[in-house]
């Protein structure tokens, strides 16, 4: 399985659904999608990653890019991350800058 990303936008919230392998070869697709949603100036980005099986450092660089592109005040939710991806984000302290949740609806109302 390679990589797919799809996005939608609703009331200031950008929804991105990622699946497959996010590595140096596929990160460009993610970056292009971030640049697309940046035009809508979202205040919240929800990443649905239930079907994302792998994230390399290129994926982490894309999270850095997202924050730098959209601004520090933009909240990034990571929804349904597999344990190994959570571990990768914890190894690099990224967990302190994103919000993990099993469900975006529940997390966003808390």
Partner 1 sequence: MPTLTLPGDLNSLEPLTDLVLEQAELAGLDTRATYQLRLAVDEIATNIILHGYQEQALQGEIVVTAEVNDQALVVTLEDTAPPYNPLKRDINRVKEDFEKPLHERSIGGLGVYFAIHAVSEFHYEWRNGRNRNIFVVHRTSPTATEGSTAHSAHA
Interface residues with partner 1 (CB under 8 A) are 2, 21, 23-25, 54, 56-58, 60-61, 63-68, 71-72, 76, 83-84, 87-88, 91-94, 96-98
CB of 41 closer than 8 Å to CB of 72: no
Smallest distance from partner 1 to CB 8, Å: 23
* Nearest-angstrom CA–CA distance, 10 and 51: 22
Our CB check for partner 1 shows the closer of 9 and 23 to be 23
For residue 95, what is the DSSP state?
Answer: G
* Nearest-angstrom CA–CA distance, 7 and 10: 10
Smallest distance from partner 1 to CB 62, Å: 10
Our CB check for partner 1 shows the closer of 3 and 48 to be 3
Q: Which residue is associated with the tokens 């914890």? A: 90
Q: Tell me how far apart the terminal alpha carbons of the chain are, to the nearest angstrom.
A: 35
Smallest distance from partner 1 to CB 1, Å: 9
Smallest distance from partner 1 to CB 38, Å: 14
């Amino acid at each position: 399985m390679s990589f797919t990303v799809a996005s939608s936008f609703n009331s200031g919230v950008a929804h991105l659904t990622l699946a497959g392998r996010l590595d140096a070869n596929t990160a460009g697709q993610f970056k292009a999608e971030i640049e697309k949603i940046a035009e809508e100036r979202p205040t919240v980005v929800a990443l649905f990653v239930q079907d994302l099986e792998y994230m390399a450092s290129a994926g982490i660089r894309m999270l850095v890019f997202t924050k730098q592109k959209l601004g520090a005040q933009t909240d990034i939710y990571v929804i349904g991350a597999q344990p190994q991806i959570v571990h990768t984000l914890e190894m690099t302290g990224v967990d302190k800058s994103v919000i993990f949740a099993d469900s975006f609806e529940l997390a966003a109302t808390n």
